[in-house]
């Protein structure tokens, strides 16, 4: 059976929030069913209830990770919203890369890799168009809680459908190589070498990641409660070097959550500078 009782849904919602901070909210049973039902046959469960109860058992680490993975995997696209990537060239690369400084960037929810690889492509384009700039280079750390997404990121192989979402023909030609079967393309090594992928939960300590000049956390905070949003934002502030910036999604705001940043209005878009 693929039904989900109200009581079990509430238990699972609390479990998911405790594990990764994601708040499902009421009446999202359909989302749980659509994400987890495919796992029933894979792992030999006869009901969704059995699968969820087993996943919430503390001893079932592997199944727990698979279930969390299924619930947190989100689609993304290349150069999403465009303006944050234009800001890299217009403002952030020139400002943060002065005097040969290496710019350290964190893509805090890399999903299938489009965001960190888009940042890397912008860095390479900037160096090509303005020789001598970014002499210290750009180092990108990309993290995600989904192990399957991270494996896909590291492979850097995308099908035609993924490549069609936000990627120009010119960038495809410049930064990708065709795979042997012709239906997919692989991102080039010169893009890949700028990005390091790491498994990371935004509820954990940020100290092992080090310090950054720029943090991308776009369209992620919408899934968290206000308390967890506030905690994450204050941890971001502690993870930034002086003068560092935070970029959020277009619909996200810091209002009432933290006072560690000044809002900087750009044209277009808004970014947040560490106070």
Distance CA 240, CA 127 (A): 24
Cα–Cα distances in angstroms (integers) from residue 77 to residues 81, 115, 159, in the given order: 9, 7, 12
For all residues of the chain together, what is the average pLDDT? 92
Q: How confident is the model at residue 2 (pLDDT cuts 50, 70, 90)?
A: low
Question: pLDDT exceeding 70 applies to what percent of the chain?
Answer: 98
The domain segmentation of the chain, as residue ranges, is: 6-72, 83-274
- Residue 257 has a pLDDT of 95
Find the helix or strand (DSSP H, E) in which 206 lies. none
- Residue 190 has a pLDDT of 96
Architecture (CATH level 2) of domain 83-274: 3-Layer(aba) Sandwich (3.40)
- Residue 217 has a pLDDT of 96
Whole-model pTM: value is 0.86
Strands (E), 113-224: 138-144, 157-159, 176-178, 184-187, 195-199, 212-217
Distance CA 176, CA 252 (A): 32
109-162 confidence digits (pLDDT tens): 888 899 999 999 999 999 999 988 899 999 999 999 888 889 999 999 999 889
- Residue 169 has a pLDDT of 92
Q: Give the residue from 202, 30, 225, 218 showing the smallest Cα distance to 119.
A: 218
Distance CA 14, CA 11 (A): 5
Report the SS3 class of residue 234: helix
214-254 confidence digits (pLDDT tens): 999 998 898 888 999 999 999 999 999 999 999 999 889 99
């Amino acid at each position: 059976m693929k039904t989900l009782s109200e009581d079990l849904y509430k238990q699972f919602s609390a479990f998911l929030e405790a594990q990764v901070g994601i708040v499902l909210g009421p009446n999202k049973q359909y989302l749980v069913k659509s994400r987890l039902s495919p796992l029933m046959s894979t792992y030999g469960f006869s009901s969704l209830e059995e699968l969820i109860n087993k996943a919430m058992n503390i001893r079932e680490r592997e199944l727990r990770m698979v279930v969390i993975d299924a619930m947190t995997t989100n689609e993304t696209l290349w150069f999403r919203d465009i303006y944050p990537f234009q800001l890299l060239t217009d403002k952030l690369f020139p400002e943060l890369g002065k005097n040969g400084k290496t710019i350290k960037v964190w893509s805090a929810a890399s999903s299938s890799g489009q965001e960190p690889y888009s940042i890397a492509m912008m860095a390479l384009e900037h160096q090509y168009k303005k020789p001598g700039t970014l002499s210290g280079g750009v180092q990108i750390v990309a993290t995600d809680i989904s192990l399957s997404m991270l494996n896909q990121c590291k492979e850097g192989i995308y099908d035609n459908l993924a490549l069609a979402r936000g990627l120009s023909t010119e960038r495809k030609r410049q930064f990708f190589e065709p795979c042997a079967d012709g239906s997919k393309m692989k991102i080039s090594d010169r893009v890949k070498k700028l990005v390091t992928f790491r498994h990371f939960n935004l509820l954990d300590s940020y100290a092992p990641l080090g310090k950054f000049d720029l943090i991308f956390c776009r369209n992620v905070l919408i899934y968290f409660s206000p308390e967890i949003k506030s905690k994450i934002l204050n941890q971001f502030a502690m993870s930034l070097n002086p003068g560092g910036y935070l970029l959020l999604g277009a619909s996200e705001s810091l209002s009432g959550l933290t006072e560690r940043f000044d809002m900087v209005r750009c044209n277009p878009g808004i970014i947040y500078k560490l106070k």
